[in-house]
Amino acid sequence: MDRPSWKRLISRPKKLSTARSSGEDISDEDYTHAQKVWEAFECKTLRDYHDLYLETDDICQTHYGLDPANYYTSPGLSYDAALKTTGQKIGASFRSRYAMMFEQATRGGVAMISHRYGKANNPYMSTYDASQPTKYLTYLDANNLYGWAMSQPLPTGDFEWVEPEEIGEILEYPDDHEYGAMIECDLEYPQDLHDAHNDYPLAPRMWRSTKSGS
């Protein structure tokens, strides 16, 4: 690398940021990420950015003995790092019928806006119409969802089925109990709640319906 480019800031136009491995311009996402890293670590020259990259790899190698170059994604790296640092073994039960129960219970997060347009109407607004129903718009966000979930105990093996009469005792287990449980049950969804919960039904179930709507 020549000396002038070694001192060049990464904030140069994207069209000049060409990935040498492919000969193509880098994606907008990669370029944006590079700029965020540059600003977060207060890089002044490309040498700073280069050294930061090498230091990150070195830290991972030193602390975990794992080479990031051997992984396609960071989740794969973090998974192996967790198993290696804890010494935890994953039981063979995860490849049995127990695994199917966990797989069928997997639910994704809901990220959507159910209504295209929402209009508030309350006394705090200059356009408040007292003749219309009072309405407020509220934005809610939960912080550290993934961080919290990843810090909780996870099942690793020694699974067994229990009798229904034992469920009451299991429900009394404290959150930090050495044993946990997953309960499969049938629920009744009252008809009078269907309209109110139409946009966000609770307790979703993954199954293939044989009925077609009209």
Residue 5 DSSP SS3: helix
2 pLDDT above the threshold of 70: no
Predicted pLDDT of residue 9: 44
How far are the Cα atoms of 27, 104, 107, 146, 156 from residue 151, in angstroms, in the given order?
33, 23, 19, 9, 15
Confidence of residue 92 (pLDDT cuts 50, 70, 90): low
Tell me the pLDDT tens digit for each residue of 7-16. 444 454 445 4
Query: pTM of the entire structure?
Result: 0.48
Q: Which residue has the higher pLDDT, 117 or 94?
A: 117
Question: Which element (helix H / strand E) includes 25?
Answer: strand 24-25
6 pLDDT above the threshold of 50: no
9, two tokens: 């800031």
Tell me the pLDDT tens digit for each residue of 64-82. 888 888 999 888 888 898 8
Tell me the pLDDT tens digit for each residue of 141-197. 788 887 888 788 888 878 888 898 999 999 999 988 888 888 888 889 999 999 988
Predicted pLDDT of residue 207: 75
Nearest partner of 123 among 132, 113, 114, 115, judged by Cα: 132
